[in-house]
Amino acid sequence: MVEYTFLFSAALAAIVLFLLLTYRFLRSVGLVRQIEPLLPQPATAQRFAGLLLGLEALVALYGVHRNLTLPCMPQGLSQALFENLTWSAALAATVATFLFAAVEEVFFRLVLLQVLRRFMPLLPALVLQAAIFSAAHDNASIQAFANRSLAGLLYGAFFVATGSWWKTALLHALSNLPALAISALMSHSPNPVNRLLVPPAEMIPGMMNCYLTVQESDFVFKMTEVTIIGLMALGATAYVLTYAKRKTIPLDARESIE
């Protein structure tokens, strides 16, 4: 399974490279902009990126801990999961998770958002790309659509502020960790990343029943992470828009497709 996951990662890397080449072509014909981070100084952009990445890491760790330590979960779940996880499996899962996020970030932020900014102001472009990003996923409800739209707004604001697609992909990958912890419980999942982390078979029915029951009945459980991400999205967007009317500084050639 580890070897299969690295092959999966190689395929994702090929998609990222193709999308980067597509971006270069679209830029050469004038359909997308040169990346211009709105934050006026590199140090400001780095502080902004570090702050949001740190906050997202805390949210992700909280979400993973909460998902694996619900009162109805089988005893010893976390220990069993990590005892069964090898270093090679952890590396494969980490690489694939980042690359999966990178595919979406290059497409939705580096290409789509830059195209939209050619035809409309920044705020409508941010909102529209977030809605398209959410609609491209399998949303089971209006709430799920709204949740992913908030995440898309956060990623878009982060990308516009920093001008870096790979930092945005890192932010995205961190936000996927709580969901990865739960999808890892689904041993039937076709995703090779999820199957690397499956717990002992005897624990699976109890875990799934616990998670689904809590998810359906506990409104606070469903909204906690969404509320945090939503506040981060609104704060990041407001911060970015305060610089929208200021003079921007183009990235140098070294950073031109970051």
Secondary structure letter of residue 30 according to DSSP = T
Distance, CA of 114 to CA of 22 (rounded, Å): 12
pLDDT digits (tens, 9 = 90+) for 72-127: 777 776 676 666 666 776 777 778 888 889 999 999 999 999 889 888 888 899 99
At residue 41, the 3 state secondary structure works out as coil
Mean of all residue pLDDT scores within the chain: 75
Tokens of 8: 């999966």
**165 has pLDDT over 80:** yes
Length of the chain, please? 258
Q: What is the pLDDT of residue 196?
A: 56
Alpha helices in 87-203 (DSSP H): 87-105, 114-116, 122-135, 142-162, 165-175, 177-183, 192-195
Q: Which residue has the tokens 């979960």?
A: 73
Q: Where are the domains of the chain?
A: 2-31+42-247
Give the model confidence (pLDDT) of 44-77 as tens digits: 777 778 888 888 888 888 877 777 777 777 777 6
